């Protein structure tokens, strides 16, 4: 060592690197021009001994958690350059690993839940495989929403029996919509939290009520879907019970509503007894002949909460009818059913009304749901528009997460200028990603009359049809 060397010892905190890395860093620094000696090491007793043998002076308070950077420069060495190189060498080492050792994505629901225990599971694989993934969720202690359809009913029963004793919920199969703690699953509208809890056997029925409540200024924190068969004799309302019990136990739920087709006779009595036993009032919105439609049920709900019933919005004005047939082209199954009940009640003979649910199984084989892919309905629309006998076209547009990004973009041009009058229900809320106002504006501009209430839209279509008689 020459007499012209100078020592620089610095202690860094909050830095850690393994010894092999540090040896490599040290070697790299030692090789820099102007460096006489250098050592970068954690201040373990052993390393301090080594450093002191190199005649560096190490502060007495250095501990194993400190990184020591000890540099001895020759007379011509540049400390700034050397320190910059230390910084570079230390940071370069980090984040170099991983890459090929990264976890591959999980291949089963079980594997995913091992990594993220407690997650809610959303199953939308093909029907024959859905129960297997759903069972993974239940075995791992997670609730599951089964969006998939074509799941055999005995599999549904087996899943729901397993869940029932374990405080777990199976939403579905064929569950299109749920809101869990404000998070929308499947086709779901953006709704504020609020005092109403929903249990729905029908996805679009649930969405209609969410949209109407949103307009009425009432939020929904929880809307459980249970699947269309839950209140059948086979399933016996297993999920409905769990869902209602959870709402009942939640102090934030003031009022619960059950949206479904009328339950099977075997289930109806039991269900009434069960809802009667709960502390939270349960309003039944059961769709069928002679029963209140969803809009009327929602009005009852608002009154029960002590809220004012708003005027349901209607925008636009449509043409007068010339033909005599009503064509209902729906993407929502419940929208169609509700319309069918009203059409029948109005005494329109079957040959003068054709109502199609494009979300029905026969239209979705090998293609996406019409809320995602509108092409099939647009084809039919063109046909009925050209048909002289068409008196009025009744349609629904369902907004929310999961649905088409901009349904009006394809629907508005398709109705613009056609001969028959068009009445459309736009089921959506103010915060839906498609923009409720934007969608309504576009459809109104194309000549449609746009409602928020499907029941009102249907009655209006019947009225238009009646006017042509």
Partner 1 sequence: MTSPASEHVADRVVSVGADLLAQAVEDQAAPVSRVDWRPPLPGTEDDLATVALDPLRPDANAQALARMLAVQAVLVDVLPAHEAIGLERGEFLHAGPPITWEDASGPLRGALMGGAVLEGLVDTPEEAVALLEGGLHVRLEPCHHRRAVGPMAGVVTPSMWMFVLEDPATGARTHCTLNEGLGKVLRYGAYSPEVLTRLHWMNDVLGPLLQRAVRASEPVDVTAILGQMLQMGDEAHNRNRAGTLMFLRDLGPALVESGGDISDVAEALRFVGGNDHFFLNLAMPACKLALDAARDVPGSTMVVAMSRNGTDFGIQVSGAGDEWFTGPAQVADGLYLGDFGPEDANPDIGDSAITETAGLGGFAMATAPAIVRFVGGSVPDALATTRRMQEITLGENPRWSVPVLEFAGVPSGIDVTKVCRTGILPQINTGMAGRVAGVGQVGAGLVNPPEEIFPQALTRLAELTRARAR
Partner 2 sequence: MTFDATSRDPRPAPVPVAAPPRVAARVESAADGPVPVLYAGLDTVHLDVAGGAVGVAAADAPGLPHSLRTNLVSLSSSGVPTAYVESGILHLDGRALVVGRLVDVRAPRLDTARIPKTSPAADQGTPRSPGAGLVALLEGTDVVHIDAAAVADLVGRGDGLTPLGDDVLCGWLAVHRAAGVATPAVDDAVRRALPRTTTLSATLLECALAGEVADVAADYLRALGTPHASAARAALAALGHTSGEGLAHGIDLAVAALSGEAAA
Show contacts with partner 1 in window 351-410 (CB under 8 A): 372, 401-402
Closest CB 433 distance from partner 2, rounded Å: 7
**CA-angle at 211, arms to 209 and 216, nearest 5°:** 90
Based on CB atoms, which residue is closest to partner 2, 158 or 430?
Answer: 430
Among 47, 177, 222, 390, binds partner 1 (CB under 8 A): 222
Contacts of 105 (CB under 8 A, 6+ apart): none
Strand partners, 285: 259
Pairing of strands 314-315, 449-451: antiparallel
Q: Which one of partner 1, partner 2, none interacts with residue 126, CB within 5 to 8 A by kind?
A: partner 1
Query: Residue 217, interface with partner 2 (CB under 8 A)?
Result: no
CA–CA dist 421, 320 (Å, integer): 6
Tokens of 149: 């359809």
Segment 89 to 148, residues that bind partner 1, using CB under 8 A? 99-101, 103-116, 118-126, 128-129, 131-133, 135, 137, 139, 142-143, 147-148
* DSSP per-residue letters across 259-295: EESPPPHHHHHHHHHHHHHSSS-EEEEE-STTS--HH
Based on CB atoms, which residue is closest to partner 1, 182 or 447?
Answer: 182
Q: Which one of partner 2, partner 1, none interacts with residue 180, CB within 5 to 8 A by kind?
A: partner 1
- Helices 333-345, 454-468: inter-axial angle, 10-degree rounding: 40
Q: Which stretch binds partner 2 (CB under 8 A): 63-71, 187-195, 226-234, 384-392?
A: 187-195
Phi, psi torsion values for 253, nearest 5 degrees: -95, 115
Query: Residue 219, interface with partner 2 (CB under 8 A)?
Result: yes
Query: Residue 158, interface with partner 1 (CB under 8 A)?
Result: yes
Q: Which one of partner 2, partner 1, none interacts with residue 219, CB within 5 to 8 A by kind?
A: partner 2
Q: Which one of partner 1, partner 2, none interacts with residue 191, CB within 5 to 8 A by kind?
A: partner 2
Closest CB 102 distance from partner 1, rounded Å: 9
Q: Which one of partner 2, partner 1, none interacts with residue 292, CB within 5 to 8 A by kind?
A: none
Closest CB 347 distance from partner 2, rounded Å: 43
Phi, psi torsion values for 136, nearest 5 degrees: -55, -45
Segment 389 to 428, residues that bind partner 2, using CB under 8 A? 401
Q: Are 434 and 412 in contact (CB under 8 A)?
A: no
Q: Which stretch binds partner 1 (CB under 8 A): 156-164, 315-323, 377-385, 451-459?
A: 156-164
Query: Residue 307, interface with partner 2 (CB under 8 A)?
Result: no
Question: Burial letters for 150-178: b for 16+ Cβ neighbours within 10 Å, e otherwise?
Answer: ebeeebbbebbebbbeeebbbbbbbbbbb
Considering CB under 8 A, how many residues would be counted as binding partner 2? 15
Query: Residue 431, interface with partner 2 (CB under 8 A)?
Result: yes
Closest CB 194 distance from partner 2, rounded Å: 9
Query: Residue 221, interface with partner 2 (CB under 8 A)?
Result: yes
Question: Side by side, which strands form the sheet with 325-330?
Answer: 314-315, 449-451, 422-427, 390-398, 325-330, 353-357
CA–CA dist 24, 22 (Å, integer): 5
Q: Which stretch binds partner 2 (CB under 8 A): 134-142, 175-183, 264-272, 314-322?
A: 175-183
* DSSP per-residue letters across 185-237: EESB------BEEEEES-HHHHHHHHHHHHHTT--EEEEEE--TTTTSTTTTT
Q: Which region, left, alpha or beta, applies to residue 435 given φ > 0 means left and ψ of -120 to 50 means alpha?
A: left
Q: Dihedral sign, CA of 361, 365, 371, 377?
A: negative
Segment 104 to 163, residues that bind partner 2, using CB under 8 A? none
Q: Are 331 and 378 in contact (CB under 8 A)?
A: no
CA–CA dist 178, 187 (Å, integer): 8
Among 30, 132, 162, 192, binds partner 2 (CB under 8 A): 192
Q: Which region, left, alpha or beta, applies to residue 11 given φ > 0 means left and ψ of -120 to 50 means alpha?
A: beta
Considering CB under 8 A, how many residues would be counted as binding partner 1? 72
Segment 34 to 63, residues that bind partner 2, using CB under 8 A? none
Q: Which one of partner 2, partner 1, none interacts with residue 279, CB within 5 to 8 A by kind?
A: none
Among 242, 318, 425, 434, binds partner 1 (CB under 8 A): 242
Among 77, 184, 205, 359, binds partner 2 (CB under 8 A): 184
Q: Which stretch binds partner 2 (CB under 8 A): 78-86, 120-128, 162-170, 191-199?
A: 191-199
Query: Residue 28, interface with partner 2 (CB under 8 A)?
Result: no
Site residues for partner 2 per CB under 8 A: 181-184, 190-193, 219, 221, 251-252, 401, 431, 433
């Amino acid at each position: 060592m020459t007499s012209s060397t100078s020592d620089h010892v610095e202690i860094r905190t909050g830095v850690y690197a393994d010894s092999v890395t540090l040896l490599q860093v040290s070697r790299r620094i030692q090789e820099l021009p102007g460096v006489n000696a250098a050592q970068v090491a954690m201040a373990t007793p052993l390393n301090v001994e080594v450093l002191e043998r190199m005649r560096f002076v190490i502060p007495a308070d250095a501990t194993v958690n400190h990184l020591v950077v000890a540099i001895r420069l020759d007379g011509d060495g540049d400390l700034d350059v050397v320190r910059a190189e230390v910084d570079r060498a230390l940071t370069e080492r980090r984040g170099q690993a991983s890459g090929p050792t990264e976890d591959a994505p999980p291949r089963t629901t079980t594997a995913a839940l091992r990594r993220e225990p407690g997650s809610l599971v959303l199953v939308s694989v093909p029907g024959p495989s859905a129960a297997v993934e759903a069972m993974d969720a239940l075995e791992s202690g997670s609730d599951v929403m089964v969006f998939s359809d074509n799941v055999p009913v005995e599999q549904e029963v087996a899943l729901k029996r397993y869940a029932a004793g374990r405080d777990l919920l199976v939403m579905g199969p064929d569950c299109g919509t749920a809101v869990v703690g404000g998070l929308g699953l499947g086709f779901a509208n953006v709704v504020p939290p609020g005092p109403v809890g929903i249990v729905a056997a029908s996805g679009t029925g649930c969405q209609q009520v969410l949209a109407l409540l949103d307009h009425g200024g009432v939020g929904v924190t929880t809307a459980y879907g249970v699947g269309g068969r839950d209140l059948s004799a086979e399933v016996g309302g297993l999920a409905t019970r769990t869902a209602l019990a959870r709402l009942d136990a939640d102090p934030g739920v003031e009022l619960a509503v059950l949206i479904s087709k009328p339950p099977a006779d075997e289930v109806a009595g039991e269900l009434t007894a069960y809802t009667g036993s709960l502390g939270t009032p349960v309003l039944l919105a059961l769709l069928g002949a002679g029963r209140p439609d969803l809009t009327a049920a929602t009005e009852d709900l608002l009154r029960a909460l002590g809220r004012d019933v708003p005027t349901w919005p209607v925008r636009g004005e449509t043409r007068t009818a010339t033909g005599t047939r009503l064509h209902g082209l729906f993407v929502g199954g419940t929208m169609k059913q509700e319309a069918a009940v009203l059409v029948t009640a109005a005494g329109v003979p079957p040959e003068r009304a054709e109502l199609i649910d494009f979300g029905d199984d026969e239209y979705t084989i090998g293609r996406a749901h019409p809320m995602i892919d509108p092409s099939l309905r647009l084809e039919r629309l063109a046909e009925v528009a050209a048909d002289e006998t068409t008196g009025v076209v009744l349609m629904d547009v369902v907004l929310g997460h999961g649905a088409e990004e901009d349904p009006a973009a394809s629907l508005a041009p398709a109705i613009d200028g056609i001969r028959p009058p068009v009445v459309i229900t736009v089921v959506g809320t103010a915060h839906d990603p498609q923009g409720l106002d934007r969608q309504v504006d576009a459809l109104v501009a194309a000549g449609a009359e746009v409602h928020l209430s499907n029941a009102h839209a249907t009655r209006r279509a019947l009225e238009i049809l009646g006017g042509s008689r």
